[in-house]
Chains A and B, each alone.
Chain A
């Protein structure tokens, strides 16, 4: 299976990937801006994500809420998302609406600020604070995705702080911050644009040039601080959180090789061996044989700078104590390190990854997003076509070596959620 890829770069530095195919009359437009919560300054946690919300509030030629309306009226789907090191925006539309999608994205890349108002900022601040309540504060274990990076990255590291942000920092965000962030990070030379699906490449090039060619290059993105980290924590980090939950849940993280690196693929396969689907080791041992867990998963966060995280997530069955849960989980990882993994386990993991990959590549939106990801994080969208082969090259010896180097007692962080003691 081969995804067609054509790339070019505009004079203003925008890197463009076209992937043409005509299976269905659908086209996906996808933009990755190389900015995420890691780029936030002190006192502005949550800003990259709040900013993402503001990008749906109109631009010079697009009214408030019109972005959503125009795409939906075209019969399209759309959204955006913010992560530690990138922010993406995407729409999939019937192919004869390609230009509308390209123009909408260009108008906000080139001309966002005329549409920004204090009222819109205040509204979206309220929306985001409700998003925080909904996904973090009023959800069992909801704080895990800010507590885990805080435990695993040192305080000075750009991945340490909360992506969704604190109420106080969100309250502090101003229109000046919006303007500064926009001018610094939302520039064509800090973005990649991917178009995937049913279009004519010559026409698409002309449209991209017409709508994006006139947008000025930025003045250069400020460098991130040095993000490199030693390969292990050097100790076993621990944090226990009392939460409004009924059963314990353990997140056990290890530092692992950054996304896309040579050593990353063994970590990826190890995640599948340990925690993907019914046949995985943790599922078999903790759910089927010992009945100490009701849910397990394992995998990488796919961070491309400094260090990635390899995370095992295990939820206890009622009656199982936090220490029983942790010992049972750790025993399986110790066993994997001591005895190694088998060829059959690695074959199972790779076969599952292969089917998942082919299934995902049916969707124009998924193809476009993955192409943008490889363009942004690895500098080459063509890496998408190497993914299967890179996974297939992983051997049992490689997975065992990864586990021995990276999953040991000197490279573990236990974030344990326990039920709050009953109020008197």
Chain B
């Protein structure tokens, strides 16, 4: 066989069909929602219990309660201390993961099908009967305070937190860290955690997603056996004020000092739109062209053209209320000013002219094609099904997603950019060396420059 050095570029074959896994939704008599996707390739099952108990529901003055409550679920039940609980889960090979973000709290574990009944029993115990032992609470609080302390020397987390603080109006929940501040965490008591759990961890506020090597009826039998007798208050209705009020005012530059830092961590953006917004997918395509992919405008500009950075990306954070649009990068200190200018220029350019047809198809073909690759694992499928509940999306969302993405036009992208992007009122946050940056940022003339230390105190 001869080998041709100049083989023509390969052309793709015929796409093979793909469908997001079939799933069924059932509601148990106690109000708990069950979502089951039988995926029977490998002998494992993922259980993902999702509770409407995210950080957006934190009591005012006790911000951090939702994350602490979730963390404490795994630290002991009324019948087992935390160490015993860990041994029981992990002896089955199914480590338990707990956590909370803005919109939900979750308990998840994955294990072999043959052990499903046993780890489901443990997961139910964790949800229903947490001990909230005083010592465990003090320990979890101490770990959060340690994290806040460590962050003063960690420029990425510091930049993210300061950006949120300036994007939202003072006092808005989204403007504070999910895990709370030193002051708010210090004020969380055992009674507060118990009250939060009693009000929000109820069957009516819980969805159990089951993905893997199990049928729908069998999954319902197992979940009913362990959670069917769970009783609780009716679903809580939100009484909090909206967490997403935007900080008013013109564009600002906030310099957070990290003396002698060799790089500047940069965040540029502002409040965007809620995840349930009808234009979300068009905005997502727009963001992919601007800064969501390696081959996006911002990365090609800052990395491949200018070598300012190892990478530069933009994102729109999906939350029930309006999350932020944000460009994030780290550049060598000396090029901070031109990098900020290039970022603002790229945002501006998205709002002034339609993107090229090639740029559009790169983004849409990517988002369309990568869809099955995103859902290879039981945990990824469970996460996708959880999102339906969290954001109130229709059950056919994943069946329609790819054709919606393929249908987005260059005019849609321009409209999406104009809907979301507002470079003139962007918040620009830079964590870097104040000595080097102070003069160049003042000279940029892009907005008022304010200066802060790593503890968040105003110093200039």
Listed in ascending order, the chain A residues whose CB lies under 8 Å from chain B are: 1, 23-26, 61, 64-65, 68-69, 72-77, 92-100, 102-103, 111, 122-131, 133-135, 137-140, 198, 209-211, 213-214, 244-247, 277-279, 284, 287-288, 291, 294, 315, 317-318, 344, 347-348, 351-352, 354-355, 358-359, 361-364, 423
24 contacts between A and B (CB under 8 A): A1-B43, A23-B41, A25-B16, A26-B376, A75-B371, A75-B373, A94-B15, A96-B13, A99-B13, A127-B304, A127-B307, A127-B309, A128-B310, A134-B310, A134-B330, A139-B155, A213-B3, A244-B258, A277-B90, A291-B142, A294-B147, A318-B149, A344-B91, A362-B42
Among B81-89, B220-228, B229-237, B275-283, the stretch in contact with A:
B81-89
Q: Provide the residues of chain A in CB contact with B13, threshold 8 Å.
A: 95-99
Given contacts A99-B10, A352-B93, whether A127 and B310 have CB atoms under 8 Å apart is yes
Q: Provide the residues of chain B in CB contact with A77, threshold 8 Å.
A: 370, 373
Q: Is the CB of A348 within 8 A of B310?
A: no
CA distance A367 to B173 in the complex (A): 42
CA distance A198 to B96 in the complex (A): 32
Picked from B17, B42, B377, the residue with its CB within 8 Å of the CB of A25 is B17
Q: Is the CB of B373 within 8 A of A277?
A: no
Given contacts A24-B376, A94-B15, A139-B154, whether A74 and B369 have CB atoms under 8 Å apart is yes
Q: Provide the residues of chain B in CB contact with A358, threshold 8 Å.
A: 42-44, 112
Q: Is the CB of A246 within 8 A of B150?
A: yes
User: Could you tell me the distance in whole angstroms from the C-beta of B84 to the nearest C-beta in chain A?
Assistant: 9
**Closest chain B residue to A283, Cβ basis:** B86
**Closest chain A residue to B378, Cβ basis:** A362
Q: Is the CB of B376 within 8 A of A364?
A: yes
**Closest chain B residue to A98, Cβ basis:** B13
User: Could you tell me the distance in whole angstroms from the C-beta of A365 to the nearest C-beta in chain B?
Assistant: 8
CA distance A287 to B82 in the complex (A): 12
Q: Provide the residues of chain A in CB contact with B112, threshold 8 Å.
A: 354-355, 358
- Give the one of B295, B300, B368 with max A CB within 10 A: B295
Given contacts A24-B376, A354-B93, A355-B94, whether A68 and B330 have CB atoms under 8 Å apart is no
Q: Is the CB of B330 within 8 A of A130?
A: yes
Q: Provide the residues of chain B in CB contact with A210, threshold 8 Å.
A: 1, 3, 7
CA distance A94 to B42 in the complex (A): 21
Q: Provide the residues of chain A in CB contact with B332, threshold 8 Å.
A: 129-130, 133
Picked from A133, A294, A315, A359, the residue with its CB within 8 Å of the CB of B330 is A133
Given contacts A1-B43, A279-B87, A352-B93, whether A96 and B12 have CB atoms under 8 Å apart is yes
Q: Is the CB of A278 within 8 A of B41?
A: no
Q: Provide the residues of chain A in CB contact with B303, threshold 8 Å.
A: 127
**Closest chain A residue to B46, Cβ basis:** A359
Picked from B14, B265, B310, B369, the residue with its CB within 8 Å of the CB of A76 is B369
Contact flags B354-372 to A (C-beta < 8 A → 1, else 0): 0000000110011111111
Q: Is the CB of B295 within 8 A of A65?
A: yes
**Closest chain A residue to B90, Cβ basis:** A279
Q: Is the CB of A100 within 8 A of B10?
A: yes
Q: Provide the residues of chain A in CB contact with B96, threshold 8 Å.
A: 278
Contact flags B133-145 to A (C-beta < 8 A → 1, else 0): 0000001001101
Given contacts A65-B304, A364-B376, whether A72 and B15 have CB atoms under 8 Å apart is no
Q: Provide the residues of chain A in CB contact with B375, threshold 8 Å.
A: 24
User: Could you tell me the distance in whole angstroms from the C-beta of B310 to the nearest C-beta in chain A?
Assistant: 4
Q: Provide the residues of chain B in CB contact with A123, threshold 8 Å.
A: 304-305, 307
Q: Does B337 contact A (CB under 8 A)?
A: no
- Give the one of B6, B43, B83, B367 with max A CB within 10 A: B83
**Closest chain B residue to A278, Cβ basis:** B86
Q: Is the CB of A130 within 8 A of B145?
A: no
Q: Provide the residues of chain B in CB contact with A1, threshold 8 Å.
A: 42-43
CA distance A268 to B82 in the complex (A): 25
Contact flags B75-103 to A (C-beta < 8 A → 1, else 0): 00000001100110111111110000000
Q: Is the CB of A277 within 8 A of B92?
A: no
Contact flags B308-319 to A (C-beta < 8 A → 1, else 0): 111000000000
12 other A-B residue contacts (CB within 8 Å) besides A65-B295, A352-B95:
A1-B42, A72-B362, A75-B365, A92-B373, A94-B16, A133-B330, A247-B146, A317-B146, A348-B91, A352-B93, A358-B44, A362-B377
Q: Provide the residues of chain A in CB contact with B373, threshold 8 Å.
A: 26, 75-77, 92, 94
Given contacts A95-B16, A138-B261, whether A130 and B308 have CB atoms under 8 Å apart is yes
> Top 10 A-B pairs ranked by shortest CB distance?
A75-B369, A214-B3, A126-B307, A351-B93, A99-B10, A278-B86, A25-B16, A279-B86, A96-B13, A131-B310
User: Could you tell me the distance in whole angstroms from the C-beta of A346 to the nearest C-beta in chain B?
Assistant: 11
Given contacts A103-B10, A277-B90, A363-B376, whether A134 and B15 have CB atoms under 8 Å apart is no
Q: Is the CB of B304 within 8 A of A74?
A: no
Q: Is the CB of A347 within 8 A of B12?
A: no
Q: Is the CB of A355 within 8 A of B111?
A: yes
Q: Is the CB of B139 within 8 A of A288?
A: yes
User: Could you tell me the distance in whole angstroms from the C-beta of B133 to the nearest C-beta in chain A?
Assistant: 11
| Contact-size category for B | 35 or more
Q: Provide the residues of chain B in CB contact with A198, threshold 8 Å.
A: 16
CA distance A279 to B111 in the complex (A): 16
Q: Provide the residues of chain B in CB contact with A75, threshold 8 Å.
A: 365-371, 373
Q: Is the CB of A138 within 8 A of B262?
A: yes
CA distance A124 to B87 in the complex (A): 48
Q: Provide the residues of chain B in CB contact with A244, threshold 8 Å.
A: 153, 258
CA distance A140 to B158 in the complex (A): 12
Q: Is the CB of A140 within 8 A of B377?
A: no
User: Could you tell me the distance in whole angstroms from the C-beta of B374 to the nearest C-beta in chain A?
Assistant: 9
Q: Is the CB of A72 within 8 A of B294?
A: yes
User: Could you tell me the distance in whole angstroms from the C-beta of B292 to the nearest C-beta in chain A?
Assistant: 10
CA distance A138 to B266 in the complex (A): 13
Q: Provide the residues of chain A in CB contact with B304, threshold 8 Å.
A: 64-65, 123, 127
CA distance A279 to B154 in the complex (A): 28
CA distance A277 to B85 in the complex (A): 12
Given contacts A213-B1, A294-B146, A352-B93, whether A138 and B16 have CB atoms under 8 Å apart is no
Q: Provide the residues of chain B in CB contact with A134, threshold 8 Å.
A: 263, 309-310, 330
User: Could you tell me the distance in whole angstroms from the C-beta of B210 to the nearest C-beta in chain A?
Assistant: 16
Q: Provide the residues of chain B in CB contact with A317, threshold 8 Å.
A: 142-143, 146
Q: Does B110 contact A (CB under 8 A)?
A: yes
Q: Does B422 contact A (CB under 8 A)?
A: no
CA distance A278 to B163 in the complex (A): 33
Q: Does B331 contact A (CB under 8 A)?
A: yes
User: Could you tell me the distance in whole angstroms from the C-beta of B136 to the nearest C-beta in chain A?
Assistant: 9
Q: Is the CB of A100 within 8 A of B87?
A: no
Q: Provide the residues of chain B in CB contact with A361, threshold 8 Å.
A: 42
Kindly identify, within residues 1 to 53 of chain B, every residue whose CB is under 8 Å from any CB belonging to chain A.
1, 3-7, 9-10, 12-18, 41-44
Q: Is the CB of B44 within 8 A of A359?
A: yes
Q: Provide the residues of chain B in CB contact with A122, threshold 8 Å.
A: 307
Q: Does B293 contact A (CB under 8 A)?
A: yes
CA distance A61 to B4 in the complex (A): 13
CA distance A423 to B362 in the complex (A): 51
**Closest chain B residue to A214, Cβ basis:** B3
Q: Is the CB of B377 within 8 A of A68?
A: no
Q: Does B327 contact A (CB under 8 A)?
A: no
CA distance A50 to B278 in the complex (A): 44
Q: Is the CB of A278 within 8 A of B95?
A: yes
